Structure formats: structure tokens, C-alpha cells
Amino acid sequence: MSVSRRSVLTAAGAGAVVLGGAGFGAYKVATREEPEPPAPPILDKHDHILWRNWSGIQYSYPQLRLSPTSEDQLAGMLKSAPAPIRAVGAGHSFMPLVPTDGTLLTLDQISGLVSVDGDGLATLKAGMRLDALGPALQARGRAMNNLPDINVQSFAGAISTATHGTGKRLRALHGNVTALRLVTAKGDILDCSATSNPEVFNAARVSLGSLGIITQVTTKTVPAKRVHRRVWLDTFEDALAKAEDNWNKHRNFEFYAIPFTGLCANIANDETDRPAEPRGPETDTDFLDALKYLRNLFGWSTPLRKFVAENLLSAYGSKPEDAIDDGWKLLSTPRPTRFNEMEFHLPAENQFAALREVLATIEAKRPDVFFPIELRRIATDDAWLSPFQGGEHGSLAVHAYYKDDYEFLFALIQPILLRHGGRPHWGKLNALTAADFARLYPRWKDFHDLRMSLDPEERMLNPYLKKILAS
């Protein structure tokens, strides 16, 4: 089916209005829209200021906030700052990795591109945000060939949770890192790579801020080329039948299965020499609003909701959405609609079976869900806590609108993804224990021993990290 996403969202929104006025007008649209969750107080009883993550579910009141301007200053601070000492990037993790009532530390002032060498290896200060890295690399004729959905993360924060994009032959961000500098809780400054402190390098590439503070990173890059982005719809079965081929064919490919519609949205990005045709205004918000509206109107009847969605969406055929631009402008896009998210990384061969089960479960039991389910591919790497070790992985991500309940992710979705051999994204919702991680990660004990040697007093660990990492 050839349907542009923009026409779909217009159709869905308009159609829902029409149907609402043509007989369903008495149905209370707001029935399923939950109120805004209450915000925590801005100050705690000690007058410490609130810190909160992007989705709003994690928060704390750090007694000290630090923003060092150099590695030496940072090393001095780490020796005496009150524990737990937690680094924060953009606060875009859903798990309680950052909250601390001790020290919250940002590297916003240790940021910027340092150099790009003749082999295209880029060295940058690790507080640098991905949206600043794109243009800085472009100015040197270089680019990242893979980026996450959004680009506000700090580089250190992104690699610390194994943040990834999509592409059968493309690794997660940490998989392209060839060297990094770590400042430990004792104030030691360690340069690490495959040849210098190799054990620390293997552990620190994905380390949840538990080994020390990463201040500098060297990463592989590719020559800067424009990228052709295409978005198109398929039926669910067609999308699944063609997905493997699409992953083989396109540099970056992903698809979203849209619950209660029988449809999938495909997104492909490929290098091109064609002139730029920039993307129009952001449309994801309208698209999600239309899906939410369909839920609000027809959430009480799954067959009716599917019937309306399938007929509305397939009635509006047109060309696929197309754009050509610099890769960093197209690979990541803004996500103004807030949500909570669970994502697991599964052996690639299990991805579709898991998707079928997850979709069937949502459509049978959770009519409140309207966000699309995201499917990506990631090439393997060997960092000790990389969820992608052991072969190509397929990720599956389920989102819950920020006003809606997300407990079903733990009760209904996590068991399916675990049964299919998944490892959770370190920054996204999961309820796994130290014993689960020990089973999923062959180098778990080595990571533990190394962490103990770098920070024997466990000053870098907050309560959540103590639960999963401490002795």
C-alpha cells in the first residue's frame, strides 16, 4: 500500500471527527484521557531543588550539583563530593539511573569536538550533545551513519546505556567507540582502548555511570553524505514479509507496528547524491494525536476501532513521504509527545514471533495503548554489558503515553520479551534483578569485580544501582 504518513494522520483525525459527529457524538471523547500525573514539589524539606527525568517518573533532590570545567577539577571534586555521585546527561533514561540525594554532576561544560584524524576517528568531550555533534562533524566532512530516534542525549549518557539506532550492519553508538577517558571516584584519570587498560575499556563502554565519569570519547565516523528518507505504510503481514529484505537493502531501516490498525509504518534512510529536499514540519505529534483520538472514540470496541482505522487509512493512498538532507537532520527527529517505554533486544530470529505475541496481547488486553511498537536491528559488539553481544539483535519497544498506566509493561510485555531471549535496554523500563542480569551477561562477574576495584566504597552507586550491581 502506498500511503503517506501525513495523509494518514489527517485522514484518521478528520475521519474520527466525522464519525464522532455522525452517530458517535454522544460518546465521551475524554473517557480514556487520564489527567496529568501530579508533579513532585519543586523543593524538598531541606530546600534542595527537584531533578526530574524527561518522562517525569524519576526524580530526586540532590544536595549538591556540580558542573566541572576540566578533568583535573572533576578529579578533585570526585574525591570529596557527597555520595551517591551520579552523572546526568539529558535525563532521557526511564530507569532510576540518575536520581541521587548526594551529588548530581553534569558534563555540560566538558563538551565539544576536539579533533578528527585522517582515518575519520573523531575525539570529543563526552558531555557533548548529539545534536551539536552532527553539525560539528559535518563541518569536517564527517558524519555518524547511525543515530537514535532523538538527538538531545549527551554522548556519554547515550553510550552508558547502549543507546542505538537501526541498521543490520550498524552497531550501537558504543560499538563504534575506539577509546575513552574515565575519571574514577578515587580521582584517577584512565585512558582506555583495546590496547591501553583494555579491561576497563570493555567494561566502561556501557557502564551506567557506575565505574566513574567518562570525559572524552573517540568514535569512528563516515564521510558526510546526504540521506534519502522514505516513510510508507504496509499492511502488518506485508511489512513483516518484506522487513528482512528491507533490512538487507537499506542502510537504516525500521518499522512501527500500529496496534488496532492492521498496519505498519516503514522508515528507510539511504545515502544519496541527489540535491536536498528538506523534511516538512514535524508530523509525529498529529499522527499520535489521531491514534489517540481513535482510541478515545472507539477504545471500547476493538473490532470497530480496527474497522474504522483500516478503512480510514487505506482510503487515503498517495506517495510515500520523502525527504533528502544531511543525515544528522533526518536520522533523529523531535519527540514532543511524552511517553514511558520498555525496549528489549532479542536474537534477530526471535523478533517477529515476539512482535506477534506482544501485539496480540495488547490488542486483547490493553485497549488504552495507541503508540506504535518500534522494531529495529543492531549489529553485534563485544562490550561486557552490551545487550547486543552474541550476534545480530532485533529490538522491540512498547510505549505508554505519559498520562497512562505503564505497569502493564512489567506484567504483560516483559515476560514475553524475556521468553524470547531478550535483554532490556539499560535506560528503559524493566524489572530485572541482579540474578537476571548475571544470567544474561557472561561477563557480569568480571564487570562486578572491576567496579569493586575502581570504587570499593560504592560512592558512584545510587539505591537502584546498589540493588543490581553491589556485592
Ligand X SMILES: Cc1cc2nc3c(=O)[nH]c(=O)nc-3n(C[C@H](O)[C@H](O)[C@H](O)COP(=O)(O)OP(=O)(O)OC[C@H]3O[C@@H](n4cnc5c(N)ncnc54)[C@H](O)[C@@H]3O)c2cc1C
SS3 content of the chain, % helix, strand, coil (to 5): 35, 25, 40
| 52 lies in the site for ligand X, by CB under 6 A | no
85 vs 101: CA distance, rounded Å: 9
- Other CB atoms closer than 10 Å to residue 379's CB: what's the count? 17
20: left (phi over 0), alpha (psi -120 to 50) or beta: alpha
CB of 147 to ligand X, least distance (A): 8
CB of 412 to ligand X, least distance (A): 21
| 154 lies in the site for ligand X, by CB under 6 A | yes
| 150 lies in the site for ligand X, by CB under 6 A | yes
CB of 61 to ligand X, least distance (A): 17
Stretch that binds ligand X, among 7-15, 29-37, 205-213, 217-225 (CB under 6 A): 205-213
CB of 278 to ligand X, least distance (A): 21
CB of 237 to ligand X, least distance (A): 26
- Other CB atoms closer than 10 Å to residue 315's CB: what's the count? 12
82-87: which pairs have CB atoms within 8 A and are 24 or more residues apart?
Answer: 83/457, 83/458, 83/459, 83/460, 84/459, 84/460, 84/461, 84/462, 84/463, 84/465, 85/185, 85/459, 85/460, 86/62, 86/209, 86/460, 86/462, 87/156, 87/157, 87/160, 87/209, 87/213
Q: Look at residue 394 and give its three-state secondary structure.
A: strand
The answer to whether 87 and 157 have CB atoms below 8 angstroms apart is yes
114 vs 207: CA distance, rounded Å: 23
- Other CB atoms closer than 10 Å to residue 121's CB: what's the count? 16
Residue among 276, 326, 330 at smallest CA distance from 136: 326
- Eight-class DSSP state of 66: E
| 93 lies in the site for ligand X, by CB under 6 A | yes
| 153 lies in the site for ligand X, by CB under 6 A | yes
| 116 lies in the site for ligand X, by CB under 6 A | no
| 379 lies in the site for ligand X, by CB under 6 A | no
| 132 lies in the site for ligand X, by CB under 6 A | no
Cell of 263: 498496519
| 81 lies in the site for ligand X, by CB under 6 A | no
| 468 lies in the site for ligand X, by CB under 6 A | no
Q: Which of 164, 171, 226, 443 binds ligand X (CB under 6 A)?
A: 164
Closest-by-Cβ residue to ligand X is: 89
Q: Look at residue 411 and give its three-state secondary structure.
A: helix
Stretch that binds ligand X, among 44-52, 154-162, 243-251, 265-273 (CB under 6 A): 154-162
DSSP run (H or E) holding 181: strand 177-183
CB of 94 to ligand X, least distance (A): 7
Enumerate the β-bridge partners of residue 376. 395
Q: Which of 78, 97, 137, 396 binds ligand X (CB under 6 A)?
A: 97
CB of 415 to ligand X, least distance (A): 22
DSSP run (H or E) holding 123: strand 121-126
Stretch that binds ligand X, among 7-15, 80-88, 322-330, 357-365 (CB under 6 A): 80-88
CB of 387 to ligand X, least distance (A): 10
| 171 lies in the site for ligand X, by CB under 6 A | no
Q: Which of 62, 68, 89, 422 binds ligand X (CB under 6 A)?
A: 89
Q: CB-wise, 3 or 90, nearer to ligand X? A: 90
Stretch that binds ligand X, among 10-18, 67-75, 86-94, 445-453 (CB under 6 A): 86-94
Q: Which of 8, 88, 185, 258 binds ligand X (CB under 6 A)?
A: 88
CB of 427 to ligand X, least distance (A): 3
Stretch that binds ligand X, among 35-43, 92-100, 133-141, 270-278 (CB under 6 A): 92-100
Q: Which of 122, 214, 348, 450 binds ligand X (CB under 6 A)?
A: 214
Per-residue contact track with ligand X, 302 to 341, x per CB under 6 A?
---------------------------------x------
| 267 lies in the site for ligand X, by CB under 6 A | no
CB of 330 to ligand X, least distance (A): 14
Binders of ligand X among 425-454, rule CB under 6 A?
A: 425, 427
CB of 95 to ligand X, least distance (A): 8
Phi and psi angles of residue 453, each rounded to the nearest 5 degrees, phi first = -75, -30
357 vs 373: CA distance, rounded Å: 12
Q: Which residues in 236-320 belong to E strands, given as ranges?
A: 252-258, 263-272
Complete edge-to-edge strand list for the sheet that includes strand 103-106: 64-66, 103-106, 85-88
**Amino acid letter at 247?**
W
Size of the site for ligand X (CB under 6 A): 32
**Amino acid letter at 197?**
N
Chain positions contacting ligand X, by CB under 6 A: 54, 86-93, 97-98, 107, 126, 148-150, 153-154, 156-158, 160-161, 163-164, 208-209, 213-214, 335, 425, 427
